[in-house]
Amino acid sequence: MAVRAAVLPAVGAPLEITGVDLPDPGPGEVRVRLAAAGVCHSDLSLSDGTMRVPVPAILGHEGAGTVVAVGEDVTHVAPGDGVVLNWAPSCGTCPACGRGEVWLCAHALDGAARVHARRADDGTALHPGLNVAAFAEETVVPGACVLPAPDGVPLADAALLGCAVLTGYGAVHHSARVRAGESVAVFGVGGVGLAALQSARIAGAATVVAVDVSPEKEELARAAGATEYVVASDTTARQIRALTGKQGVDVAVECVGRASTIRTAWESTRRGGRTTVVGIGGKEEKVSFNALEIFHWGRTLAGCVYGNSDPARDLPVLAAHIRSGAFDLGALVTDRITLDGIPAAFDTMIAGKGGRALVVF
């Protein structure tokens, strides 16, 4: 029986909501009925070619659901179990995994090249956008791409753990290593930015500045933990320094992926400050610094993949924060939509509006 899915027929083409035929799970595979899937900016980056993906493809990489069936050799989950999808499974054998840097696994996206399903109307082979093809009523994934859903977390909300929350939390706790009493600026108040704001609050940051082009996002940002809100402009760095005794923040977390925003985030930190770049930009986005200012300011600039997170390690920690009320998953969601609403959610992201749209099946 065919299931409905959001298919990207070609790079730059509109998504098509259509029926697809999924195979039964083979050895080591798991079939999952989706409860919900988050619409992430990375999905937009895949659709417009900023990030490469074999096409045609079923997009969606942030999801959670219920196991329907398992193939041979799958023992860590069983039919009826709630699971969170992990779009970047680690191989455990490459040099990065050997160093414990599983978020940099050289083989994490190997599965994206496989034939995942076929269109029900014409049999066209389809790939899974970032391994898990979460923009579908059901999906079949390698066993390494599912993790048991945390107890006490609603399954639909748990979808956000698959990308936005792990990325925002990890950017603050693992990459930037924010300490209690420090000041933090988060650039971009989307799903990841809202998660970073909550994570800065959990870390004990004293001043948390949210920066976004949209004035309408101030209420969202403050609810997530921002103590200050700055509407992005040519004077953003100056405004942030004014809010921090003319020093600049200790840490900036950039969740946009634009050269101008990365540069502004760096300029917004104090001498010796730390900037973590989470946003995914295109290769044409060039950030420049002169040699003297690098020496004089003594700042650091670091990339951050998937929040430098290890899902197996970090999901239980996040679950404890959620159960205690310290982290509010619902505060990230600004729209709950159906599968047919994904194209409109892409338009909302392009316009710089909203937080996280959540497809609820």
pLDDT, one tens digit per residue, over 168-184 is: 999 999 999 999 999 99
Residue 257 gets which letter from DSSP? -
CA distance 203 to 51: 32
Residues of the chain with CATH 3.90.180.10: 3-162+328-360
Per-residue pLDDT reduced to its tens digit, 254-264 = 999 999 999 99
CA distance 298 to 27: 52
CA 138 to centroid of chain Cα atoms: 21
Residues of the chain with CATH 3.40.50.720: 168-305
Give the pLDDT band of residue 282 (cuts 50, 70, 90): confident
Q: What is the pLDDT of residue 1?
A: 67
CB count within 10 Å of CB 35 equals 21
Give the pLDDT band of residue 49 (cuts 50, 70, 90): confident
pTM of the shown model:
0.94
User: Strand, coil or helix: what is 144?
Assistant: helix
Q: What is the pLDDT of residue 124?
A: 97
H helix count then E strand count, the chain: 11, 18
CA distance 8 to 342: 12
* DSSP H or E segment with residue 3: strand 3-8
The β-bridge partners of 84 are: 64, 147
Per-residue pLDDT reduced to its tens digit, 8-43 = 999 999 999 999 999 999 999 999 999 999 999 889
User: Strand, coil or helix: what is 149?
Assistant: coil
Q: What is the pLDDT of residue 351?
A: 85
Per-residue pLDDT reduced to its tens digit, 134-166 = 999 999 999 999 999 999 999 999 999 999 999
Task: Give the architecture (CATH level 2) of 168-305.
Answer: 3-Layer(aba) Sandwich (3.40)
Task: Give the architecture (CATH level 2) of 3-162+328-360.
Answer: Alpha-Beta Complex (3.90)
